[in-house]
Amino acid sequence: MPRRVAIVGTGHSKFGVRSDASIPELAWEAISEAMKEAGIEGRDIDLVVMGNVGGWSSEPLPAIVSLEYAGLEGKPVYRVEAACATGSAAIKAARDAIASGDADIALVFGVEKMNESPTPTVVEFIGRAGNYFWEFENFGLTFPGYYALYATAYMSKYGATEEDMCMVSVKNHYYASHNPKAQFPRKIDVESCMGSRYVAWPLKLLDSSPITDGAAAVVLASEDVASKLTDSPVWIEAIGAASDTSNLSKRAQFTSLRAARLAVEQAYKRAGIERERAASEFDLAEVHDCFTIAEIMAYEDLGFARPGEGYMLAREEQTYIGGLIPVNLSGGLKAKGHPLAATGVSMAVDIVRQLHGRVEKGRQAPIKRGRAIAHNIGGTGHYAYVTIYSSSKPR
């Protein structure tokens, strides 16, 4: 029987263009908050797992420079990378270490400083994160282009409109307007989204998550230790993970991500959740809306809507508080920002605070079941990590 693992502390930097802070400084904003919340000191930490995609920084050992700055040099540490799902993969690695008995307390942090990217540019660098040779070098595909392929396939097959996608952006900006840590804490309307310039038709600027600097951190603990540190641990109930082909051209389907479906299936099986009833099992979900079409696909891959009906949830505002299931009350990648490796950790931070009932007014979900889900995608569906968090102790 593996040991149960809980989150006992959370930390989150301001997301945005953070030319005021270096990588270790950004990391420290999140780490110091998480350690304080957990009530621990450096000597209590048995393992550090650091998430960072990098490639845009001159620091090739960001884990080490961050630990030295945080006064945590000496700790066992490694860096994890799973593209934009890095943060969730890092949480899984630390969870495994604690569950196995290797560590009692682990610190996980994800940090990214994307705005200082040298050549290649951020867009070029991210664009390579499919199959470099076949799809970037030969066809010039970048990430807006990839997700535009999903959007056109989805629109053509199911009749969704550009307005439906803009509805996702409007919702996420609405909730970001209540989240002071968000990169864009301001509301937009469908008209301004529809009027924003095309990045890759049918996706517009306001369908797209931004280039973000930021950090997030969580402290994980074993059951015994968690019970000493806090009265309100949030348990990692189940994790599902999967991957998919490097080449998009080898995928069988473009209106759903196979990796996400596999990861969801694994997570639901482990938590004993029926896919058909999934929307009623969670108080809220944080999903990977790198582009608005991705959030619509996520609704379907998570079982919140049947295939081809996800866009109706957006159109009918069913993923606001009070609807079928509230989604991305943090502002999502779209409006909170998307510092790649920080994103999965940021989802965990916001979910813990939501389950505690302590986020800002206007974006706090009613907490009834004490359960929430994070859906974190890497690349264009190359990686998927799905994590179920619960304020009740898992069986």
Backbone dihedral region for residue 7 (phi beyond 0: left; psi -120 to 50: alpha; all else: beta): beta
Q: How many chain residues are in contact with a second copy, going by CB under 8 A?
A: 64
Cα(246)–Cα(7) distance, integer angstroms: 33
Task: Decide if 223 contacts 99 (C-beta within 8 A).
Answer: no
CB of 198: closest distance to a second copy in angstroms? Answer: 26
Question: Considering only residues 12, 18, 92, 113, which one is a binding residue for a second copy as defined by CB under 8 A?
Answer: 92
| Binding residues among 14-73 for a second copy as defined by CB under 8 A | 47, 53, 55, 58-61, 63-65, 67-68, 73
Do 88 and 75 contact (CB within 8 A), yes or no? no
> Which amino acid is present at 62?
P
- Token readout for 306 is 């049947």
The minimum distance between CB 224 and a second copy, in angstroms, equals 14
> Three-state secondary structure along 15-55?
CECCCCCCHHHHHHHHHHHHHHHHCCCHHHCCEEEEECCCC
Q: Which two structure tokens, joined as six digits, stand for 278?
A: 């999934």
Nearest distance from C-beta of residue 206 to a second copy, angstroms? 27
* 31, 97, 167, 217: which one binds a second copy (CB under 8 A): 97
Strand-strand pairing, 284-286 and 234-243:
unpaired
> Do the strands 371-378 and 383-390 form a parallel or antiparallel pair, or are they unpaired?
antiparallel
Nearer to a second copy, 132 or 198 (CB): 132
Among 10, 13, 86, 354, binds a second copy (CB under 8 A): 86
Strands 198-200, 203-204: parallel, antiparallel or unpaired by DSSP?
antiparallel
Q: Which segment (7-15, 258-266, 309-317, 369-377) binds a second copy by CB under 8 A?
A: 258-266
Q: Which is nearer to a second copy, 101 or 195 (CB)?
A: 101
To a second copy, the closest distance from the beta carbon of 17 in angstroms equals 20
How do beta strands 47-51 and 105-113 pair? parallel
Measured from the CB atom, the residue of 128 and 187 that comes closer to a second copy is 128
How far is Cα 62 from Cα 367, in angstroms, rounded to an integer? 37
Q: Rule CB under 8 A: choose which of 19, 39, 100, 198 binds a second copy.
A: 100
In the complex, what is the shortest distance from the CB of residue 93 to a second copy, in angstroms, rounded to a whole number? Answer: 5
Active-site annotation holder among 173, 178, 288, 338: 338
356 catalytically annotated:
no
Query: Among 39, 101, 195, 307, which residue interacts with a second copy (rule: CB under 8 A)?
Result: 101
Among residues 131, 135, 378, 83, the alpha carbon closest in space to that of 257 is found at 378
| Residue in 12, 84, 178, 290 annotated catalytic | 84
* Residue 122 engages a second copy in binding (rule: CB under 8 A): no
The tokens describing 167, both together, are 């509805």
Using rule CB under 8 A, residue 300 touches a second copy: no
- Non-local CB neighbours of 219 within 8 Å, separated by 6+ positions: 7, 8, 9, 10, 34, 35, 37, 38, 40, 45, 105, 106, 107, 108
Q: Which stretch binds a second copy (CB under 8 A): 122-130, 148-156, 165-173, 364-372?
A: 122-130
CB-nearer residue toward a second copy: 336 or 375: 375
Q: Which is nearer to a second copy, 83 or 225 (CB)?
A: 83
Residue in 20, 41, 137, 274 binding a second copy, rule: CB under 8 A: 137
* Rounded Cα gap, residues 132 and 192, in angstroms: 34
Known active-site residue 166: no
Strands 234-243 and 383-390: antiparallel
Task: Tell me if 211 contacts a second copy by CB under 8 A.
Answer: no
Report if residue 267 touches a second copy, rule: CB under 8 A. Answer: no
- Tell me which residues touch a second copy (CB under 8 A): 1-3, 47, 53, 55, 58-61, 63-65, 67-68, 73-83, 86, 89, 92-93, 95-102, 125, 128-133, 137, 239, 241-247, 250, 258-259, 262-263, 266, 378-379, 382-383
| Active site amino acids | 84, 338
